[in-house]
Amino acid sequence: MSGVANQDSIERLDGEPWVRLADGRELANWSKEDEIRYNQGNRQSEKYLFYRRTFDFLHENEIKGDYHEYGCHRCRTFRMALTEARRHNLGAMKFWAFDSFEGLPDPTTETSVSKWTRGALTTSEDLFRDIVKEHGIYADHVHTVKGFYDKSLTSELQKRFVESEAKAALINVDCDLYESAVPVFNFIEPLLQDGTVIYMDDLFVGNKGNPGRGVARAFLEFQGRSKFRFARHLDIGWWGRSYVAIAGGAGAAVI
């Protein structure tokens, strides 16, 4: 696999076309499996770079708090958060995994991704915990909240978080659908602080990049009622973007 990673990396050349490109000989037997591996390697590299940069941002700006992830399929980005928290010696941080652990609900709004059907993107709670344990970093700091968000993110749970838990330092909203994102944004409002980073993994996925639909629509609506305003932070590949919460009054909605 390391050889594949090196082959797929961008390599400079001192002449035209200035970067090394795979040619017809190398891609003669390129398969669907190769395509999936290539895309996933590129995408996960972009995501991990985001986590490296953002934990550095949180550390340097002394933004204390917990990690929240809404949508935890395969525990990929969750492990990235655990690793970077350990690199920054954040031993007081808690890590909250909010997921149905049964995959997606039935979409009630239209998407352009045919595979987003009920039960898609399922990682069971037991498997998630096994992956965390195998990863071996801050496993005893990890907590799961199981259920579809319209049922699990109750006002009682929100009150408990406000009264008993730390504010959020970093929030990953990776729930794909508009109807899943709306209760997430309602839930996190009182958990935000000046400097909280919100990362939306599917801002431009599932709706042909249309900000009037999907998670982007839910975020725009949230900005209209939030006590915070939001500054663009980092782009993550073509699909995602992060924002920094700024206390002290609403501003113009941004995407």
Q: Please write the tens of the pLDDT for every residue from 173-192.
A: 998 889 899 999 999 999 99
How many residues are recorded in the chain? 255
The answer to whether residue 234 is domain-embedded is: yes
Which residues lie closer than 8 Å to 29 by C-beta, 6 or more apart? none
* pLDDT, averaged across the chain: 90
The answer to whether residue 158 is domain-embedded is: yes
Distance CA 70, CA 97 (A): 6
Distance CA 41, CA 25 (A): 22
Which residue segment(s) compose the domain that 159 sits in?
43-246
The answer to whether residue 63 is domain-embedded is: yes
The answer to whether residue 34 is domain-embedded is: no
CA angle (161 as vertex; 156, 163 as ends), nearest 5 = 95
The answer to whether residue 32 is domain-embedded is: no
What's the number of domains the chain is made of?
1
Distance CA 205, CA 217 (A): 12
Instruction: Pull the structure tokens for residue 116.
Output: 């987003």
Instruction: Pull the structure tokens for residue 189.
Output: 């409002």
The answer to whether residue 156 is domain-embedded is: yes
Claim: this prediction has a pTM higher than 0.85: yes
The answer to whether residue 128 is domain-embedded is: yes
Which pLDDT value is given to residue 107? 63
Which pLDDT value is given to residue 144? 98
Single-letter amino acid code for the residue at 50: F
Place of tokens 């997430």: 184
- CATH number of the domain within which 124 lies: 3.40.50.150
Distance CA 10, CA 58 (A): 29
The answer to whether residue 22 is domain-embedded is: no
pLDDT at 5 over 50: no
Give the pLDDT band (50/70/90) at residue 233: very high
